[in-house]
Structure 1
Amino acid sequence: MERFIHDVAVRWSDLDAYGHVNNARFLTLYEEARVAMFFVAARARGLTSFEEGIVISRHEVDYLRPVDYGDPVRIELWISELRAAAFTVAYELFDGGVLAGRARSVCVPYNLAEGFPRRVTAAERAFLEPYLST
């Protein structure tokens, strides 16, 4: 299984009153890595269908330690479950090489133009399978 790795800058606006990354902003950091995978990396491999729509049906976040302003964080993500009409992205967030958070997002391919969920295509499945944990 491969992991998709993406560095994300921590912005001043990500911080809370205590000087740590706000809990809600963790989801933004995970989102930036997920977008890099499904829009940038997928497009580089000739796959653009994810850009037509993906919605999130569930998030789970485990906060393991505070993250301060500073160097970018490293987010590693992979696919923990791949079904006919949904897939789950798992993440680990590292701050200075130390695991600071884990999360999971259930993603549903979605036809934004028509307003309904759709199935994972064969091309999307082929893109996701190298990242699928067994």
Structure 2
Amino acid sequence: MSHTPHSVDVALRWSDMDAYGHVNNVQYLRLLEDARIVAVADWLGEGDRLLKAGLIVSRHEIEYLAALTFRHAPVRVDIWPTRVTAASFDLAYEVRDPAEVGEQLYARAESTLVAYDLEAARPRRLSAHERARLQDLAGEPVAFRWRPR
């Protein structure tokens, strides 16, 4: 990866665990969402139209690599944009331990997000500023095991 991903530390909750004692697969979506909100605000500013006008998820894909059990230390979510189009963009994620905890990689994921006009209830085009900023930060797609390298 030639770019530097944005890193967000996300706390785990006791309620994230399932009957098997590990973080439930559904809770990974919350971890990704928490990191995504912070990253987009950092990249574009909290007052940016992208967050205020609307941004919806149209696709998620997650590849689970190791069991994540509850602990008080947060997990680190590395996040970066990949493909940027006129009205949508993909975000890549890696859920891992922070460097001070270890180097375990728990999951890789990718989401497609669509800029959305909440008032008109329909997708909208990304602004030139939004598109340019996301493209400036863009890196390689997620290295899923199934994806040829």
TM-score normalised by length of structure 2: 0.83
Q: Which residue of 2 aligns with 1:118?
A: 124
2:16 and 2:103 map into 1 onto residues whose CA distance is 20
Structure 2: tracts of 5 or more residues without a match = 141-149
Q: Which residue of 2 aligns with 1:50?
A: 50
Following superposition, the deviation at residue 133 of structure 1 comes to 1.4
Alpha carbons 2:60, 2:109 under 8 Å: kept:
yes
1:100-134 CA deviation, whole Å, 9 max, x = no partner?
A: 10000000000011101011111112321232015
Q: Which residue of 2 aligns with 1:69?
A: 70
1:1-134 to 2 correspondences below 5 Å: 1-43=3-45, 48-51=48-51, 52-70=53-71, 71-95=73-97, 96-133=102-139
Alpha carbons 1:4, 1:131 under 8 Å: kept:
no
- Whichever structure has more strand as a proportion of its residues is 1
Identity among equivalent positions (%) equals 41
Alpha carbons 2:87, 2:114 under 8 Å: kept:
yes
Partner SS state of residue 37, structure 2: helix
- Whichever structure has more helix as a proportion of its residues is 1
Alpha carbons 1:76, 1:93 under 8 Å: kept:
yes
Following superposition, the deviation at residue 40 of structure 1 comes to 4.6
Alpha carbons 1:15, 1:22 under 8 Å: kept:
yes
Structure 1: tracts of 5 or more residues without a match = none
Partner SS state of residue 81, structure 1: strand
Q: Which runs of 4+ in 1 moved over 3 A?
A: none
- RMSD (Å), alpha carbons: 1.4
TM-score normalised by length of structure 1: 0.92
1:36 and 1:76 map into 2 onto residues whose CA distance is 11
